[in-house]
Amino acid sequence: MPDVTVSTDVDSLLKSADNAAARTSLGLGTAAEAATGDFATSAQGATADSALQPSDNITELTNNAGFITSAGNLDDVTTNGATTTNDINVGNRITTGNNTASGATATAIGGQNNTASGLSAEVLGGDGSTASGQGSSVLGGSNHQNAGNWSATVGGLNQTVASGAVRSAIVAGFNHNMNHNDCVILGGNTITTDSSNTVYTPNLKVNGNLRLPTGANDGYVLTSNATGTGTWQEPASVSGGVQTKSTSAGVLNIDYSLGANVKTTLTENVTSINISNAVEGDAGLIIFDTDGLGTYSMTVGASNRVLSGYVADFSLLSTGDKITMGYYYDGSAMYLYISQLG
Q: What's the pLDDT score for residue 56?
A: 77
How is residue 69 annotated by DSSP? -
Choose between 105 and 228: higher pLDDT: 105
Q: What's the pLDDT score for residue 37?
A: 73
Maximum CA extent, the chain? 177
pTM of the predicted protein model: 0.49
Task: Report in angstroms the alpha-carbon separations of 234 from 215, 237, 283.
Answer: 11, 5, 20
Q: What's the pLDDT score for residue 304?
A: 95
% of the chain residues with pLDDT over 70: 82
Least reliable range by pLDDT among 3-7, 208-212, 250-254, 275-279: 3-7
% of the chain residues with pLDDT over 90: 57
Assign 85 a pLDDT band (cuts: 50, 70, 90). Answer: very low
d(CA 313, CA 297): 8
Phi, psi of 42 (to 5 degrees): -65, -35
d(CA 17, CA 95): 79
